[in-house]
Amino acid sequence: MTDTVLTNARILLPDGLIHGSILIRQGVVVDVSTGPAPRDALDCDRDLILPGLVELHTDNLERHIEPRPKVDWPHRAAILAHDGELAACGITTVFDALRLGSDNDPEGELGEYARQLADDILDLRAEGALRIDHRIHLRAEVCSVTLMAELDRFGPEDGVGIVSLMDHTPGQRQFRDIDKLRAYVIGKRGLSEEGFQAKIAAEQALGERVRDSHEAATVAACRRYGATLASHDDTTAEQVMASHAFGARLAEFPTTHEAAEACRAHGIAVMMGAPNLIRGGSHSGNVAARALAEADLLDIVSSDYVPAALLMAGLMLGDLWDDLARGMATVSANPAASVGLRDRGLIAPGMRADLIRVRRLDGGARVRGTWVQGQRVG
């Protein structure tokens, strides 16, 4: 394998920008220097070279497998399209979020899909068909009749990286504001008020019946897989204390300032959604990501449902904090470290050559190149 040199670039190191070159050999950064580069180096025209983005929680694959309601797109084709989209957005490592159970299916009528989709992802990865590094994130919907059986379909051999404890029961966490839930559900699904009330009652009854046993089963499964446990939508300090007791190391989208402060006190990394940050607030009426950033309570950003938002968010936080390295760490080094990936997320000798070339534009940024282990994939 020949060496690759990127030169005439503004390279983001952990302590700031330098103008220089990066030497890549056998998929690894070998040297970062400000000296002269070889004649065959790739001239980056003073573009930014940033660490590849690390995405921990994205629903984007679900959008590809169901591009319209009740349309089941061929899964391998959907995975490949999703993979290409992420590479184009500068994401070089992704934990694909796969739903176990459902938050709107108290009778267990929706089909299971996570096991088969995980198999397709793992098969494509083994075939070398994917551009970026794909890993598995299981979103365990605690109040679901199918959860226990679906957890049993996975084991340590699957390399599950993250398990998140999800509880979307109406009246608490993300959906504690029933009026906002009403507007969302009736608008999206066309339910009548009577149908909405019946849905609320059924889901709340299911939650009361299964919550405790399903939480315990999910935590046990996470330990069996060897995965990182994440809480989801913690709202109160008491809920954060419970997450900490379960062994959670990552808090996905805490809904209040109180919960974020409790996470910090218990050593749990706080992750917020990039759409929340970019739009200026939560679509569910929860705490604004910017408010947590301004209070120094934001560690990690996820693209959630907009892959292109991840780079935008890292750059936006860099501007907010007047520290580009700190802002970009929320979408690279911090998420990687939170799940035990110590070989990526920053640019330094010995690290994976997962890199992106970026040019900032008014109102955004353009990804002009993506490299995964030194191979250009976008």
Residue that the structure tokens 């935008």 belong to: 312
Q: Is 178 exposed, middle or buried (0-12, 13-18, 19+ CB in 10 A)?
A: middle
* Per-residue pLDDT tens digits for 151-177: 999 999 999 999 999 986 665 656 666
Please choose, from the candidates 207, 218, 226, the residue with its C-alpha nearest in 3D space to the C-alpha of residue 242.
218
**DSSP secondary-structure letter at 304?**
B
SS (H, E, C) 7-49: EEEEEEECCEEEEEEEEEECCEEEEEECCCCCCCCEECCCCEE
Cα–Cα distances in angstroms (integers) from residue 174 to residues 5, 101, 164, 165, in the given order = 47, 17, 14, 13
| Domain parsing of the chain, residue ranges | 52-342
Q: Which two tokens stand for residue 341?
A: 């990936």
Q: CA–CA separation, 321 vs 17, rounded Å? A: 15
Q: What is the pLDDT of residue 184?
A: 58
Q: DSSP states of 264-280 as a string?
A: HHTTPEEEEEHHHHHHT
pLDDT along the chain (378 residues), means of 10: 91 97 97 92 97 96 90 95 98 96 55 91 98 97 88 96 85 60 56 68 69 92 98 95 97 96 98 96 86 98 96 98 98 98 97 98 93 96
Q: Determine how β-strand 355-361 pairs with β-strand 364-372.
A: antiparallel
Q: What are phi and psi of 253, to 5 degrees?
A: 55, 55
Please choose, from the candidates 287, 306, 292, the residue with its C-alpha nearest in 3D space to the C-alpha of residue 364.
306
Q: What is the pLDDT of residue 70?
A: 82
Q: CA–CA separation, 284 vs 180, rounded Å? A: 7
List, in sequence order, every beta strand (DSSP E) within 152-232.
160-166, 228-232
Q: CA–CA separation, 214 vs 233, rounded Å? A: 17
Q: Is the separation of the CB atoms in 225 and 154 below 8 Å?
A: yes
Q: CA–CA separation, 369 vs 88, rounded Å? A: 8
For 52-342, which CATH class? alpha beta
Q: Which two tokens stand for residue 18?
A: 């330098």
- HSE at residue 43, side-chain half, CA atoms within 13 A, is 3
> Which 3 state secondary structure label does DSSP give 307?
coil
Angle between helices 257-265 and 237-246 (to 10 degrees): 40
Please choose, from the candidates 207, 318, 367, 276, the residue with its C-alpha nearest in 3D space to the C-alpha of residue 57.
276
> Which 3 state secondary structure label does DSSP give 237?
helix
Length of the chain: 378
Say what the alpha-carbon torsion angle 248, 254, 256, 257 is, to the nearest 10 degrees: 70
**DSSP secondary-structure letter at 158?**
G
> Which 3 state secondary structure label does DSSP give 74?
coil
The one-letter amino acid code at 88 reads A
Q: Is 15 exposed, middle or buried (0-12, 13-18, 19+ CB in 10 A)?
A: exposed
Q: What are phi and psi of 229, to 5 degrees?
A: -95, 135
Assign residue 32 a region: left if phi > 0, alpha if psi is -120 to 50, beta otherwise?
beta
* Per-residue pLDDT tens digits for 182-196: 555 555 555 677 766
